[in-house]
A and B are shown apart, each in its own frame.
Chain A
Amino acid sequence: MSNETKQILTTDGIPLEISLKKAERKNKIKAFLLVAPLLLFLIITYIFPIGEMFTRSIDDKMITNMLPKTFKSMETWDGKELPSEEVFASFLSDFKILVDKKEHGKLAQRLNKEKNGFNTITKKLFRQVKRNKIDETQSIKEQIMKVHKRWRNVEYWQAIKRTAPPYTSAKYLKAMDMYLNEDNKITQVSEDRRIHRILWLRTVEVAFFVTVFCFLMGYPIAHLLATLPMKYSNLLMICVLLPFWTSLLVRTASWMILLQQQGVVNDFFVIIGLVSDDNRPEMMYNKVGTYVAMTQILLPFMVLPLYSVMKTISPSLMRAGKSLGGTPFVAFWKVYFPLTIPGIGAGCLLVFILAIGYYITPALVGGASGTLISNQIAYHMKTTLDWSFASAMGLMLLGGVLVIYWLYNKLVGVDNIKLG
């Protein structure tokens, strides 16, 4: 067999197999070269920076570089009683370098995050150093301990030691309202300061309910669009596509007008007698506003995949189901509905993922209850400039989205996402 294949030669006298492989490889390289520019561009400007978010979120090198000698001499310290003279001496020498570089403030800030009270005692120490009050020929330990009573407290030295590793999981714990306590155990922050967990839950809740509402409203109209004759359905399709192409902020603005207390929706409720004129319900700056506006904004993303799946289902299937004795409901439930599951999956996935990263609309119409995790990320990026914390929360969100994507792939299989 192998002899025979070897005998087939091309006109150049090269065996066909080799020649074919060569051509194949050439084609592969050609195809790859076409994709390469975009792939490279995305890897450099997008994929790498997402990776950088990770290193940034666990990075704690700043203080490791600030106190190199201290951490070196602390290696032998057991952390139970006050450290030795050597540790104090190396701490002072590190500190003096920081004072020269005017970076002692940063150190105080970082240490204060680890344990409250460092700000004051670092400032006190700074003043002593500035005035050259510390005599290096005598015991440095005694002198530092005299600066403030907290320098005599072993807990503060333990806190310094805890900051030694160049990496930290603190940002991730903080995003879950937890922290590492003195014994390196994960502890919850006190009840009144658990803000992030509320935000995570609220984000998931909003995304979930918006997906449910979109499904409940999108399914009937997608069905209608798919079953109506072309000339009517094309006209109705405009109702779906026009919002789809319209700016998100325009749609949010119109909901702000509709839902305000003197707005059209409230006017309508008063006219039909649902509410009295002087008792108009507040529909904006609460969850009602968020749900209504987000559902309308994301509804096209549910309708379009559903429609494209329903369009391929032959109407004769329903007729067959009915002719075999099923009532219209049974025929729908047993024949039509299972066939639309890929569309439902695609629509729900799309809406949920879009909703979970949303923050423009909730921030504008949701009031205080419209703060979602994305708002928090934006807030830390722009206002507090705690970029590592923002990165940590962003990656946690991304992890959640990827898990959903994976689940979807397992349950439904990634269909081509169709865009209408």
Chain B
Amino acid sequence: MALPKYTETRYRIWHYFYIAICTFVFIFLIAPLFVIFPLSFNAEEFLVFSEGMKNLDPDAFSLRWYKDMVYGTKNPWGLAAKNSFIIAIFATLGSVILGTVAALGLSSRHMPFKGIIMATLISPMIVPLIISGVAIFFFMAKAGLAATHTGIVLAHIILGTPFVVITVTATLSGFDHSVTRAAASLGSNPVNTFMKVTLPLILPGVISGGLFAFVTSFDEVVVVLFLAGLENTTIPIQMWTGLREQLSPTILAVATCLIVLSTLILISAELLRRRSERLRGINR
């Protein structure tokens, strides 16, 4: 972003002002995540940087809250983590299967009523979550699935499929359909063609849709608050109750773990995106 030598002073000033604004916004975006790290290693119970921490005194840091998170008596985090992972994994599987199959149909040029069907399929993303929550709760209550894992998994499939549909249709838009015809002409049946030809080519899109679905489920709190009973508590529910009652350092330990997890997800999503762009021949 170096300025050419002939730039007038007022544009020079404007340019530095612009850089300053951008720097501020980037700090605003990323800094909050880094506050949690040091505080989660706090040896004390308060959620402020103690004098010892400011002086980098090793005694001021400890793994106390991480131990509390894992071994703490009456701590709900173990059950919550287990539930969260089980629910997110099944919800992701369901979303990916239903969403990918639907995207295959949607990107066919023979699809009738494409517009309205697409609108229906991505509606859970557009409708405010609280309304989805109420509607899904009514269904689950009627079907007797409230306060069950199955109910929550189904709810998260509803919320997750739009992401899969969108990413997979986007991947399929650059897909060369002649390869499936080639496979068919070589005697492959449609299922075989899909597994051996189409799927490997659209896999980056499918996986990144799956990542969206996973994160949606793993981070979802509004709908779960309606559906979950005591047995189905998840990490977001525990954090919600924890933050409402009292902000304890244990929550920060959990939050740190979640940030590490989201970093891993971010890295895999980025790698996938680049790979799929390379495959689609987009080089910028």
**Chain B CB within 8 A of A381 CB:** yes
Are the C-beta atoms of B259 and A246 separated by less than 8 Å? Answer: yes
Q: What total of chain A residues lie within 8 Å of the partner, measured CB to CB?
A: 94
Against A, the Cβ 8 Å flags (1 = close, 0 = not) of B17-59 are: 0110110011011101101100100000001110000000000
With a cutoff of 8 Å between Cβ atoms, the chain A residues found around residue B170 in the complex are 416, 418
**Chain A CB within 8 A of B60 CB:** no
Please judge, given known A-B contacts A53-B134, A353-B126, A359-B222, whether A251 and B32 are in contact too, CB under 8 Å: yes
- Chain B's closest residue to A249 (CB) is B239
**Chain A CB within 8 A of B79 CB:** no
- Chain A's closest residue to B155 (CB) is A45
Interface residue SS majority, chain A? helix
- Chain B's closest residue to A48 (CB) is B139
With a cutoff of 8 Å between Cβ atoms, the chain A residues found around residue B127 in the complex are 50, 357, 398, 401
Pair count A-B, CB < 8 A? 266
- Chain B's closest residue to A236 (CB) is B26
Interface residue SS majority, chain B? helix
Chain B interface residue bracket vs A:
35 or more
With a cutoff of 8 Å between Cβ atoms, the chain A residues found around residue B19 in the complex are 224
Please judge, given known A-B contacts A252-B243, A378-B130, A390-B134, whether A243 and B33 are in contact too, CB under 8 Å: yes
Q: Whole-angstrom distance between the alpha carbons of A252 and B242 in the complex?
A: 12
Are the C-beta atoms of A242 and B263 separated by less than 8 Å? Answer: yes
Q: Whole-angstrom distance between the alpha carbons of A395 and B244 in the complex?
A: 28
Against B, the Cβ 8 Å flags (1 = close, 0 = not) of A275-292 are: 000000000000000000
Are the C-beta atoms of B35 and A258 separated by less than 8 Å? Answer: yes
Q: Whole-angstrom distance between the alpha carbons of A47 and B123 in the complex?
A: 9
Chain A 356-398 residues near chain B, CB threshold 8 A = 356-360, 363-364, 374, 377-378, 381-382, 387, 390-391, 394-395, 397-398
| Interface CB pairs A-B, < 8 A, 30 | A27-B108, A28-B111, A28-B112, A34-B106, A35-B106, A37-B98, A38-B99, A38-B121, A39-B120, A42-B124, A43-B120, A46-B124, A50-B127, A217-B25, A238-B266, A243-B33, A245-B263, A246-B259, A246-B262, A247-B235, A250-B239, A250-B255, A253-B255, A256-B247, A257-B252, A267-B49, A378-B225, A382-B226, A397-B128, A401-B127
Residues of A at under 8 Å CB distance from B? 24, 27-28, 30-39, 41-50, 52-53, 56, 217-218, 220-221, 224, 227-228, 230, 236, 238-258, 260, 262-264, 267, 296, 299-300, 311, 328, 353-354, 356-360, 363-364, 374, 377-378, 381-382, 387, 390-391, 394-395, 397-398, 401, 405, 416-420
